[in-house]
Amino acid sequence: YAHALPPRVRAVVGAYHELRRGDPREAERLLRRLAADYPDDVEAWLLLGEALYHNNPAQGRPAAGTLSADTRLA
């Protein structure tokens, strides 16, 4: 049924799936692409910010690095 979903929804579901599957780097890659493809999509930026906040420390990056994604919402 996934093929029946709009491309943006498939991208959100795919990125969320990668987060839950335990592949934060792939999720980040997909979310960055989603935010680039849909720059006015608040949900894309929120998901990217959340993914970075939770996964940056595990990758040796400061959690404060999420501010660059979240500032798009201001």
Nearest to 16 by CA among 54, 56, 57: 54
pLDDT tens profile 11-48: 888 988 988 888 888 888 999 999 899 988 888 888 88
Q: What is the mean pLDDT of residues 51-73?
A: 63
Count CB atoms within 10 A of the CB of residue 69.
22
34 with 49: CB under 8 angstroms?
A: no
pLDDT above 50 (res 73) = no
Q: 0.75 exceeded by the pTM?
A: no
